[in-house]
Chain A
Amino acid sequence: MIEIKGISKKYDDIEALSNVSFDMPEGQVFGLVGTNGAGKSTLLRCICGVCKPDEGEILVDGEPVYENPIAKSKIFFISDDQYYFPGSTPDEMMNYYASMYPASFSKERFGRLMNALSLDRKRKIQTYSKGMKKQLSILLGIASGCKYILCDETFDGLDPVVRQAVKRLFIHDMDEYGITPVIASHNLRELEDICEFVGLLHKGGVILSKDLGDMKLEIFKVQAVFKDQASLDTVRANCKVIAEEHRGSLITLTIRGLRTEVETVITSQLPIFYEVLPLTLEEIFISETEVLGYDFAEITK
């Protein structure tokens, strides 16, 4: 498990992370989502030991990670723009990482995966397309045999087929080898397919960090038509309504709470029509950040 305990990080006067604390359980895909500039990349760079937090600490399986080769040997960091040595080929990068992860790196597996994705191992990486470079970085991470694979915007630039293949690969390796992919992304639909646990960052702080299933059980979208305004006011008063939208008489409410309790309140008002719908991760993200004032509704005014 990766434990993040109250870390803060500043770049000069800019506060990238502020007292961030949560755990990343192992054996599950952890999705790290957040607004632009929320500190996702900084958090990943701190987790893999590239950056040292100004405050707090990060433990990987109980050991601090910064300047600790034992803890770092369990982590592979795939950055959003992976570095490759100038003029190098995939095989040369494979050899580099094989020498850095000597016990766990599998050259044989790397070769198989390269073949599976039809990537030429002898071709210079600088001639690869952006997507191919992304694929290569993922394959290097997978072949490293590390327990924790930290992926920063990894799915960006991959075509849908490869995205699915990578997802399958992650799920396979979780079952087979017990790896824990940590995926930072803006593409919440992609994450929703694969992530079981989600951490939501905004302005350097954690809004929430939960099992995605649990998260969906605690927030709903209710579409309803009430008889009168008093009924709506009663619902507002008895439920934690975090967003509200009116289209004619149809009212859409985003409500936080247990589904049974919410339904009890709504049915007690005898609505003409009501339906409880689950929220997508993207809707949850928008709702949660809107509450914190991350809203650009004024942009069209």
Chain B
Amino acid sequence: MTSQKSQNKITLLGLMREDLKHRRWMLVLSAFVQLIFGPVATLMTFIDLEAQSYYYYGDDFLRNKERAVQYAVERMTRSYLPIMMAFIAVVGALIVGIGGYRHLFNRRMTDMVNSVPVTRGKQFDCIYYNNWLIWFVPQLVSTILTTFIMLIRAASYGWAPAILRSAFFVLIGSALAFACMLHLTILAVALSGTIFNALLNVAFIGFDCIVAFYILRGLCSVCFTTYAGLPVSIPDICWLSAPLSGGYLGAIISTGLSGNKYNDAIQSFGTESSFWLVLIATIIVAIVNLILAYSLYTKRKSEESENGVSNKPYRMCIRFFNSVLAGLFAAMLIEEIFYIDEKALIVWQFIFAAVFCVLVFGLIDMVHTRSAREFFKNWKQMIVIVGVTVAILVTFIFDLTGFDKRIVSENNIETALIDSYIYAMGSDGSGYVKDPENDGVLYEEYMLSGYDERASYIEIPAEAAYELMTAERLFWRYGERYLYNPLNGRSEILPDSALDHTTEYFDIIIDKKSGSEFRRSYQIFDRDVMADVVSLPGFMEAAYPFRAGELGYPITIWISNNGMSHEIQIPEDKMHDLFDATIEDFRANYSLDYLEMKNSVEAYCLECQYYVKSPRAGDDAYWTYTLNLYVTDLDVRTIAVLEELGLQDYKYDPDSLNEWDYYEYGYYDGY
């Protein structure tokens, strides 16, 4: 018979070997995928780019080849490998995490595994280490081969240090992505009795916080008339989602953290220091997930297999949270798909929220218990959660928190920034900003979304900000337009006949002395206030920072006319003349009235395409941008150049514009 001494012969390595025997397919799959998307793809990229090298420098073969190799190395190390390997790591972690602990989904297999003389802790460790081996060994081989291929092709051009550094960081970044997803998956598996429930739990635990964030954002934008964004960015909360944070951070780390185009991704965390905070938070979440998974696994009852989800506190949390989210989502969905009277819409929002809430609550109970009878089993909780959902909706829809009415007192304003929508020239209505790292080059805001969004805002004095917050403004409610006076808190319906002038939107960000941030978007009705703001000293220079000769390298010009665009090829020097004339006109005529003329349908659009150097650090490519110049009758210099070019016939005919043209070309901001 066995003795204590003999029992000790079951080593962890022996167990791992035995486990691996039954998971050979995972190892083969991992190796196949990583070799195909690693060394094979790298080799193909080099061959492909080298074959096209004649595009670069004509007949200079050596220069062409060097350029091709440089492109290939940059493409592989800065974008392809970091993203692809992090993606493979995330998907691989999901597969090995579920496949490794598959015995938890089969009662017979659970009986077999738990009846043999091995502790549950040792079983967990053995499978966990094998999960890493299944991913890491092929990843290591793939990285070595990929690096070897790149070194052979590019070392002679001095790229060896960059390639080796990239290989190291790809391993580190992918490992982080793998760990985040693996630990989440194991936690989900330890809570589940079936594969379906495990996958659902991965989704619930992995994405619920992100979904909640989006729903909160959506509710704010649907319900609050002055909503202008939450003071957190999506990457800030990515660390709450293992699949997102793992893949996202993994890809960033894989690029080596600096000296490449992912710099802006790091900066999208706000500052580099917040990147490190998010990274540390993500690692802590991954470790906590692992500890929880281990604890749940070792304490798990065998009879939980094939049982859906047995952990009652977890079940309750999940059904509560997700049914509330579903209810709120339904309310938003109705807002998007129904075009009905607003009062009726609100009724339908409550009805749909309650129905979705009940449906998701019951469905989760059914899935967790694997029984259709359980749909209404927790009907009391169901009633409570419908009540909670309705209460949240009431809070948002009727603005019980006073979100729209809140203002910051003047003496509590530390700094105030505004973004004006009166006239913006970007291809999508966005404004232009100067790249702080490439002085003299202008970029459309959205192209620089990775940078600090405040770069597109203009600082104004506290008094001006207070004046904006307290100015009469418009908002819509129940299908009616209201005029609201923040100073006395009164609002009244404003008929069309009383709206005798245009209104404009202003976004405002205020850093309070108390430390928090205040963001709002106001549709200002008071024209004097608007005029005061646009005529603030330095406002024009900050809001419209372009100067003659600063708009990169023109390529071509499209003139939009009544929904049609006509491409006009004009000489480069004439393009510069056109830009310079437009800018001079702008500076000479600058006023609120002029900006609004530019913004109106009476202006006609010159859609100018031009090259600028890429704003991405380390990227010497040129990007094609579009600048929309709206020409009014006041722009005499511009018109003169256009006439010189024979383009004056392309003016808009406002009478022929339909409603869609207003939106598309006129930036009709609506009264």
In the complex, which residues 82-103 of chain A have their Cβ closer than 8 Å to any Cβ of chain B?
A: 82-83, 85, 92, 95-97, 99-103
Taking CB atoms, residues of chain A closer than 8 Å to B18 are: 95-96, 99-100
In the complex, which residues 177-195 of chain A have their Cβ closer than 8 Å to any Cβ of chain B?
A: 177-178
Q: Closest CB of chain B to A18's CB: distance in Å?
A: 17
Whether B1 pairs with A69 at a CB distance below 8 angstroms is no
Give 1 or 0 for each of A213-255: 1 = CB within 8 Å of chain B CB.
0000000000000000000000000000000000000000000
Q: Chain B, interface size: which category?
A: 20 to 34
In the complex, B323 has a CB within 8 A of chain A: no
Q: Closest CB of chain B to A193's CB: distance in Å?
A: 26
In the complex, which residues 206-243 of chain B have their Cβ closer than 8 Å to any Cβ of chain A?
A: none
In the complex, B499 has a CB within 8 A of chain A: no
Whether B115 pairs with A77 at a CB distance below 8 angstroms is yes
Select which of A48, A51, A146 is within 8 A of B2 by beta carbon: A146
Q: Output the nearest chain B residue to A46 by Cβ-Cβ distance.
A: B302
In the complex, B378 has a CB within 8 A of chain A: no
Whether A104 pairs with B115 at a CB distance below 8 angstroms is no
Whether B1 pairs with A50 at a CB distance below 8 angstroms is no
Give 1 or 0 for each of A32-60: 1 = CB within 8 Å of chain B CB.
00000000000001001111100000000
CA distance A145 to B118 in the complex (A): 17
In the complex, B7 has a CB within 8 A of chain A: yes
Of the candidates B2, B6, B18, B22, the one having the most CB atoms from chain A within 10 angstroms of its own CB is B2
Please report whether the interface of chain A is mostly helix, strand, loop or mixed according to DSSP.
Answer: loop
Q: Closest CB of chain A to B307's CB: distance in Å?
A: 9
Taking CB atoms, residues of chain A closer than 8 Å to B108 are: 79, 81-83
Whether A102 pairs with B6 at a CB distance below 8 angstroms is yes
Whether B9 pairs with A83 at a CB distance below 8 angstroms is no
Residue ranges of B at the interface with A (Cβ–Cβ < 8 Å): 1-7, 9-10, 14-15, 17-18, 21-22, 106, 108-112, 114-120, 301-303
Taking CB atoms, residues of chain B closer than 8 Å to A45 are: 111, 115, 302
Whether A50 pairs with B14 at a CB distance below 8 angstroms is no
Q: Closest CB of chain B to A181's CB: distance in Å?
A: 14
Number of inter-chain CB pairs below 8 Å: 92
Taking CB atoms, residues of chain A closer than 8 Å to B6 are: 73, 102-104
CA distance A85 to B22 in the complex (A): 8
Given contacts A100-B117, A102-B10, A103-B9, is CB(A51)–CB(B1) below 8 Å? Answer: no
Whether B301 pairs with A83 at a CB distance below 8 angstroms is no
Q: Output the nearest chain B residue to A97 by Cβ-Cβ distance.
A: B116
Select which of B7, B106, B115 is within 8 A of A50 by beta carbon: B115
In the complex, A67 has a CB within 8 A of chain B: yes
CA distance A50 to B302 in the complex (A): 6
Q: Output the nearest chain A residue to B110 by Cβ-Cβ distance.
A: A50
In the complex, A165 has a CB within 8 A of chain B: no
CA distance A77 to B117 in the complex (A): 11
CA distance A170 to B4 in the complex (A): 25
Whether B115 pairs with A69 at a CB distance below 8 angstroms is no
Q: Closest CB of chain A to B310's CB: distance in Å?
A: 9
In the complex, A258 has a CB within 8 A of chain B: no
Taking CB atoms, residues of chain B closer than 8 Å to A100 are: 10, 18, 116-118
Taking CB atoms, residues of chain A closer than 8 Å to B303 are: 11, 51
Taking CB atoms, residues of chain A closer than 8 Å to B3 are: 103
Select which of B15, B109, B117 is within 8 A of A73 by beta carbon: B117
Whether B10 pairs with A99 at a CB distance below 8 angstroms is yes
CA distance A145 to B7 in the complex (A): 13
Whether A50 pairs with B10 at a CB distance below 8 angstroms is no
Select which of B9, B106, B119, B301 is within 8 A of A102 by beta carbon: B9
Whether B112 pairs with A82 at a CB distance below 8 angstroms is yes
Taking CB atoms, residues of chain B closer than 8 Å to A134 are: none
Taking CB atoms, residues of chain B closer than 8 Å to A99 are: 10, 14-15, 17-18
Taking CB atoms, residues of chain A closer than 8 Å to B4 are: 70
Q: Closest CB of chain A to B525's CB: distance in Å?
A: 63
In the complex, A75 has a CB within 8 A of chain B: yes
Q: Closest CB of chain A to B123's CB: distance in Å?
A: 11
Given contacts A72-B116, A100-B117, is CB(A83)–CB(B111) below 8 Å? Answer: yes
Taking CB atoms, residues of chain B closer than 8 Å to A202 are: none
16 additional A-B residue pairs with CB within 8 Å, beyond A100-B18, A101-B117, A103-B2: A48-B115, A50-B110, A50-B302, A69-B117, A69-B119, A70-B4, A72-B115, A73-B6, A82-B112, A83-B109, A85-B22, A95-B21, A97-B116, A101-B116, A103-B7, A178-B1
Taking CB atoms, residues of chain B closer than 8 Å to A103 are: 2-3, 5-7, 9
Taking CB atoms, residues of chain B closer than 8 Å to A82 are: 108, 112
CA distance A69 to B7 in the complex (A): 7
Whether A51 pairs with B302 at a CB distance below 8 angstroms is yes
Whether A50 pairs with B111 at a CB distance below 8 angstroms is yes
CA distance A159 to B14 in the complex (A): 37
CA distance A70 to B9 in the complex (A): 11
CA distance A214 to B588 in the complex (A): 117
The contact sample of 25 A-B pairs, CB cut-off 8 A, is A45-B115, A45-B302, A50-B110, A51-B303, A67-B119, A69-B118, A70-B2, A70-B117, A72-B115, A73-B2, A73-B7, A76-B115, A79-B111, A79-B112, A82-B112, A83-B108, A92-B21, A99-B14, A100-B116, A103-B2, A103-B6, A147-B1, A147-B2, A177-B1, A178-B1
Taking CB atoms, residues of chain A closer than 8 Å to B9 are: 102-103
CA distance A67 to B116 in the complex (A): 10
Q: Closest CB of chain B to A22's CB: distance in Å?
A: 21
Taking CB atoms, residues of chain B closer than 8 Å to A178 are: 1
Q: Closest CB of chain B to A79's CB: distance in Å?
A: 5
Taking CB atoms, residues of chain B closer than 8 Å to A75 are: 115, 117
Taking CB atoms, residues of chain B closer than 8 Å to A104 are: 1-2, 6
Taking CB atoms, residues of chain B closer than 8 Å to A85 are: 22
Q: Closest CB of chain A to B195's CB: distance in Å?
A: 14
Taking CB atoms, residues of chain A closer than 8 Å to B110 are: 50
Q: Output the nearest chain B residue to A11 by Cβ-Cβ distance.
A: B303
Given contacts A70-B7, A103-B7, is CB(A83)–CB(B112) below 8 Å? Answer: yes
Whether B14 pairs with A49 at a CB distance below 8 angstroms is no
Taking CB atoms, residues of chain A closer than 8 Å to B109 are: 83
Taking CB atoms, residues of chain B closer than 8 Å to A92 are: 21
Taking CB atoms, residues of chain B closer than 8 Å to A69 are: 7, 10, 117-119
